[in-house]
Amino acid sequence: ETGVTQSPTHLIKTRGQQVTLRCSSQSGHNTVSWYQQALGQGPQFIFQYYREEENGRGNFPPRFSGLQFPNYSSELNVNALELDDSALYLCASSFPDWDLSVGTQYFGPGTRLTVL
Amino acid sequence: GENVEQHPSTLSVQEGDSAVIKCTYSDSASNYFPWYKQELGKRPQLIIDIRSNVGEKKDQRIAVTLNKTAKHFSLHITETQPEDSAVYFCAAFIPFRISNFGNEKLTFGTGTRLTIIP
């Protein structure tokens, strides 16, 4: 298992509410990426944080926002929840490979969000 | 942006036989191609990866091949076992400017549900 942890494990919210999901990166990793995985689909990139700054964003609206803290843990915030936001939210931590600018991403167990 | 296609979507093989999953990518800038295995209700786990300067990589029963010219890469599992049953995802990575370390993005395929028949 990786050293990446996420909380909570499961969450049930109603439409219009706001939610905060948390991720602790693996020791030594300074980059956290967030993904949304709908049932039966591959993970979709939401955004990435590197050294506390957002570094790249996928096709998600501004109501998806995030933070990274000095210890490299991260939060994903979703405002005005919609039914389609129901999914497994995964975070992945990595550390850049200085030769090829590639950092292998290791996933946390995910938070399953259900919006009613 | 990058687009990754994965085939087949489902695959059933007899225990002991080989399984092959194929992916194509669209952006020639992609330089890193990991494969993840995801069991029901669990996190994606990296099983093997390959970089664009390598054509083939093997780790015990698992191998990955890459054809940069054709922009496709494949996962090969030999001597399949029941514990190989899972959903497998390929992914392609596009690096950002070399000065922006950590600015990587993975684009995933749609997944292949592999079932090993005892």
Identify whether B34 is preceded by a cis peptide bond (ω within 30 of 0). Answer: no
Strand partners, B63: B58, B76
Give the up-direction half-sphere exposure of residue A70: CA atoms within 13 A in the CB hemisphere: 0
Interface contact A43-B108, CB threshold 8 A: yes
Interface contact B43-A110, CB threshold 8 A: yes
Interface contact A55-B102, CB threshold 8 A: yes
pLDDT confidence bin for B98, thresholds 50/70/90: very low
In a 3-state reduction of DSSP, which class is residue B6? strand
Mean pLDDT of chain B: 91
First to last CA, chain A: 32
Strand partners, B83: none
Question: Mean pLDDT, to the nearest integer, of B11-35?
Answer: 94
Tens of pLDDT along chain A (116 residues) come to 668 999 999 999 999 999 999 999 988 888 899 999 999 899 999 998 888 888 888 889 999 999 999 999 999 999 999 999 999 999 999 886 665 556 788 999 999 999 99
Question: Mean pLDDT, to the nearest integer, of B81-94?
Answer: 94
For A11, phi then psi, to 5°, come to: -155, 135
Closest partner residue to A96 among B34, B43, B101, by Cβ? B101
Closest partner residue to B105 among A41, A48, A90, by Cβ? A48
Between CA B61 and CA B78 the distance in angstroms is: 5
* Helices and strands (H and E) in chain B: how many: 0, 11
Cβ atoms of B23 and B3 within 8 Å: the answer is no
Distance from CA of B11 to the nearest CA of A (A): 15
Identify the sign of the CA torsion A42, B83, B41, A111. negative
Give the best residue of A24, A31, A45 to mutate against chain B (max B CB count within 10 A).
A45
Between CA B15 and CA A56 the distance in angstroms is: 42
Between CA A55 and CA B95 the distance in angstroms is: 12
Q: Check residue A69 and give its pLDDT.
A: 94
pLDDT confidence bin for B26, thresholds 50/70/90: very high
Phi-psi region of B11 (alpha: psi -120 to 50; beta: other; left: phi over 0): beta
- How many beta-carbon pairs below 8 A join chains A and B? 89
Identify whether A8 is preceded by a cis peptide bond (ω within 30 of 0). Answer: yes
Strand partners, B67: B72
Q: Check residue A2 and give its pLDDT.
A: 67
Q: ∠A51-A55-A56 over CA atoms, to 5°? A: 160
Interface contact B102-A58, CB threshold 8 A: no
Residue B100 pLDDT greater than 60, yes or no: no
- Sole residue written with tokens 């890193």: B32
Distance from CA of A18 to the nearest CA of B (A): 24
Closest partner residue to A105 among B98, B106, B110, by Cβ? B106
Q: Check residue A101 and give its pLDDT.
A: 56
For the beta carbon of residue A98, count every other beta carbon within 10 angstroms.
10
Cβ atoms of A48 and B105 within 8 Å: the answer is yes
Closest partner residue to A31 among B6, B95, B102, by Cβ? B102
Question: Mean pLDDT, to the nearest integer, of B80-109?
Answer: 80
Q: Check residue B106 and give its pLDDT.
A: 86
Cβ atoms of B102 and A94 within 8 Å: the answer is yes
Question: Mean pLDDT, to the nearest integer, of B70-87?
Answer: 97
Q: Check residue A98 and give its pLDDT.
A: 60
Distance from CA of A7 to the nearest CA of B (A): 14
